[in-house]
Amino acid sequence: MGLFPFQNEPFLDFSSVIEMDQMVHAVAQVRTQLGQTYDLRIGSQRRAGKTLFDSINPAQPAEVVGHLSAAEPDDVEKAVLAAESAFRHWSQVPAWDRAALLLRAGHLLRQRRRHMLAWIAVEVGKNWSQADGEVAEAIDHFEWNARELLRWSEGQAIQPLASEFNQYRYRPLGVGAVISPFNFPTTLPVGMIVAAIAAGNTVVFKPAEDASVIAHQLVDILDDAGLPPGVVNLITGDGATLGPALVSHPRIRFVAFVGSRAVGTQIHHIGAAMSVGQTHFKRVMTEMGGKNATVVADDADLSWAVSEILSSAFGYQGQKCSATSRVIAMRPIYDELIERVATEAKRLPDQVGLPQDNAPYGPLINQKAVSKVLHYQEIAQMKERVVLSGGRLDQAGYVVSPLIVADVLTSSPLFREEIFGPVLTFTPADTFSQALELANDCEYALTGAVFTRSPKRLASARQDFYVGNLYLNRSSTGAMAGVHPFGGYKGSGTGPKVGSPDYLGFFLEAQTITEKVRY
């Protein structure tokens, strides 16, 4: 192939004084760029919207990160037309040239890595350590897909026939929509966009409003790597307005979405309909969150389990689709496990600070997220056994303290509904089999974790724990491209796993070509 085998990007070492100094410098540089105005990016044009909306720093809500143009449905039409025009050329660019462009873009992100971490800290409130994991994965997506597109471009071997030349190859689909959330503002859109354009498609990219400035930084990297105009078009604004217009457009061939189940379900519904002028059925891929369970057996290493539960439940304040939100523990260790997790979680509010300074604990994304967490806190106080009280902290930002609730029944909303915040429930189980049954008793099936020393129990978990990503004796968060291909079952999503050998196939269609060679 002519490329070194794929290797995951190493993480930065923030225990290094030199690394810390570089990050402080990057944060200072990024802060000089706050408050700029960002236009829509359609084809080769920068287009100002009729209105603007502000993206703010969730740790300091008075601080505006950027003023962004709000797109309208007619901008969606223009973006689709620009992508359609660009597709005619981009789909014909040789695979090696597309791969080289992805490698250049990955190298540019590697060069701008610390500045990207600073943007993530100020716009979505994720500290350097948490942000670095996702930026490393975003770099991986460039490297992984550069290699994958070369593999897929070779087609597949098929049964020969002496009188014919037969070829089985893959073709790009056309124009697609990529709709991404706030919580992983680099790796999630990059994973979808890069796979789409690697396959030869073009894209209209709609990021979450709260992460729109970061989206511009990503498109800058693609532009600087030499991506032709119109291959990726960026529209920002209200998802409730732009999403339906984009998904229902008759010339959109595919939709790749990460976000809430409510929106993902709506996208499936809209995408299944045939619009006037539409000549094909849309492909729809959604990743729609989780209500992830960690099972702790009575023979587990409790110290290790406590550490992993804390990181997966409260890392980035629980705003991860893979975060542990339910713990199912066997009765012999149930009370001790709760006490040890609660003791450590009590210390988190003392570690609150600015994400841009790499504080261990920070804000939720916005006031709506705070209100949602406080709503579940009220439910817990009325109906459940509260072990650690949550609540709004006396901070400038959208900061709430962890909420831990014990003895939660399967009928409780806290057991069933995705909260997307620092809320953790505990439910006891009499046997390991019952613990797995409780873990599976959920409409989501994204990630899960099991802690046990027993090979028999690990084998049982492999067989019976129904989730897309199962982690044994480690936390339910921290997937790496190529190593832990990511995606769930049930209400957690549809489509192939990102970072997998199958993923690029979603963005391609197979074609058989037959030539008669003996008359």
Dist. CA 31–CA 462, nearest whole Å: 47
Strand partners, 328: 295, 427
Question: Beta strand pairing status for 423-429 and 469-472?
Answer: unpaired
CA dist 39 → 219, 245, 314, 367, 401 (Å): 12, 19, 35, 26, 37
What pLDDT does residue 495 have?
83
- Tokens representing 152 are 């897929």
Task: State yes or no: is 442 an active-site residue.
Answer: no
Question: Considering 123, 134, 209, 321, which one is annotated as catalytic?
Answer: 321
The angle subtended at Cα 491 by Cα 489 and Cα 497, nearest 5°, is 35
**Largest alpha-carbon pair distance within the chain?**
84
Q: Rounded mean pLDDT of the chain? A: 97
Map residue 89 onto helix, strand or coil.
Answer: helix
What pLDDT does residue 336 have?
98
Dist. CA 171–CA 186, nearest whole Å: 27
Residue 395 has pLDDT above 90, yes or no: no
Question: Considering 287, 308, 384, 418, which one is annotated as catalytic?
Answer: 287
Domains delineated in the chain: 37-288+495-513 (3.40.605.10), 292-480 (3.40.309.10)
H or E stretch at 234: strand 232-234
* Mean pLDDT of all residues in 495-499: 91
Q: Which of 277, 250, 255, 276 is nearest to 266 (CA)?
A: 255
Residue 169 has pLDDT above 90, yes or no: yes
Task: State yes or no: is 287 an active-site residue.
Answer: yes
Residue 257 has pLDDT above 90, yes or no: yes
Residue 2 has pLDDT above 90, yes or no: no
Quickly state the pLDDT bin for 519 (edges 50, 70, 90).
Answer: confident
Q: pLDDT by residue (tens digit) across 430-444?
A: 999 999 999 999 999
- Tokens representing 245 are 């217009």
* Contact status, residue 316 vs residue 478, Cβ threshold 8 Å: no
Residue 86 has pLDDT above 70, yes or no: yes
51 phi/psi in degrees, rounded to 5: -130, 165
Whole-number percent of the chain with pLDDT over 90: 97
Dist. CA 303–CA 341, nearest whole Å: 10
* Contact status, residue 169 vs residue 513, Cβ threshold 8 Å: yes
What pLDDT does residue 1 have?
60
Residue 396 has pLDDT above 90, yes or no: no
Residue 3 has pLDDT above 90, yes or no: no
Q: pLDDT by residue (tens digit) across 188-241?
A: 999 999 999 999 999 999 999 999 999 999 999 999 999 999 999 999 999 999
* Contact status, residue 401 vs residue 373, Cβ threshold 8 Å: no
Quickly state the pLDDT bin for 244 (edges 50, 70, 90).
Answer: very high
Residue 492 has pLDDT above 80, yes or no: yes
* Contact status, residue 197 vs residue 205, Cβ threshold 8 Å: no
* Mean pLDDT of all residues in 66-84: 98
What pLDDT does residue 355 have?
96
Q: How far apart are the first and last CA of the chain?
A: 36
55 phi/psi in degrees, rounded to 5: -100, 130
Residue 488 has pLDDT above 80, yes or no: yes
Dist. CA 183–CA 385, nearest whole Å: 30
Residues in the chain: 519
The angle subtended at Cα 227 by Cα 226 and Cα 230, nearest 5°, is 140
**Helix 113-124, helix 17-31: angle, nearest 10:** 60
* Mean pLDDT of all residues in 264-280: 94
* Contact status, residue 175 vs residue 204, Cβ threshold 8 Å: yes
CA dist 469 → 189, 223, 326, 490 (Å): 20, 34, 16, 13
